[in-house]
Amino acid sequence: MRVLVVEDDPTLLVQLGAALGNAGYAVDEAADGRDGLHLGLTEPYDAIVLDLGLPVLDGLTVLQRWRQQGRTTPVLILTARDGWHEKVAGIDAGADDYLTKPFHTEELLARLRALVRRSHGLASPLLRCGDVTLDTRAGTVTLAGATVSLTAHEYRLLAYLMHRAGQVVSRSELVEHLYAQDFDRDSNTIEVFVGRLRRKLGAERIETVRGLGYRLVPPEAHPATR
């Protein structure tokens, strides 16, 4: 999952970037409204954290422009402590959730997880595909009840596929959602990570759909086990 953080407080921006990175997100950052507007219009984020008080272009205007141009990315706004009117204006402008500063990182992470899963039509923080279970809260994966040890990159890839279980996901979509903008993107690395996940979970679980991409399938749906 890839997120954008638009925040002009440099300390908070660094803290948020680190916390989101540790939580397994690829993170892009913008320190003013103009850069944030541009990134939000051009990159396919899974969620955006948007401060409202921003230089150059305020957060509310940024949000309105994203929505006017049809961007449906889930947006969580950061508001001032007593800014109830900001919350109302933000939600009316198309925000999906808000947090009042100062906030606990854990709460931000929980709200983001909820926004991302709801945008995929999922209600539970536990994602299941056959006997593979991914706990988005703990960042853990089990196979038939046994813990599977995954690297951060493997987890990130599996989490994306689990959110899209049963659907074909192209390699370019995976690259766009798994790596930050400044990351040296090479779609061949996706193939490498898919290979590692297959070794750990069973080769049949990630189907290659020729010319289109990959599909995570429950074991019973695969031709080899029918």
State the nearest-atom distance from the C-beta of 6 to Ca ion, in Å: 9
Which residue lies nearer to Ca ion by CB, 1 or 30? 30
Q: Which is nearer to Ca ion, 57 or 126 (CB)?
A: 57
β-strand partners of 28: 4
161-188: b (≥16 Cβ within 10 Å) or e: bbbbbeeebebebbbbbbbbeeeeeeee
Q: How far is the CB of 171 from Ca ion (least distance, A)?
A: 37
Helices (H), the chain: 10-22, 33-42, 59-68, 84-92, 105-119, 152-163, 171-178, 187-201
CB of 59 to Ca ion, least distance (A): 8
Q: Is the Cβ of residue 56 or residue 168 nearer to Ca ion in the bound state?
A: 56
- The nearer residue to Ca ion, 86 or 154, going by C-beta atoms, is 86
Closest CB 90 distance from Ca ion, rounded Å: 13
Closest CA to 205 of 217, 191, 193, 223: 217
Question: What is the smallest separation between the CB atom of 111 and Ca ion, expressed in angstroms?
Answer: 19
Which residue has tokens 């948007």? 50
Q: Which is nearer to Ca ion, 53 or 125 (CB)?
A: 53
Residue ranges that bind Ca ion, judged by CB under 5 A: 8, 51, 53
Residue 184 backbone phi and psi in degrees, to 5: -70, 100
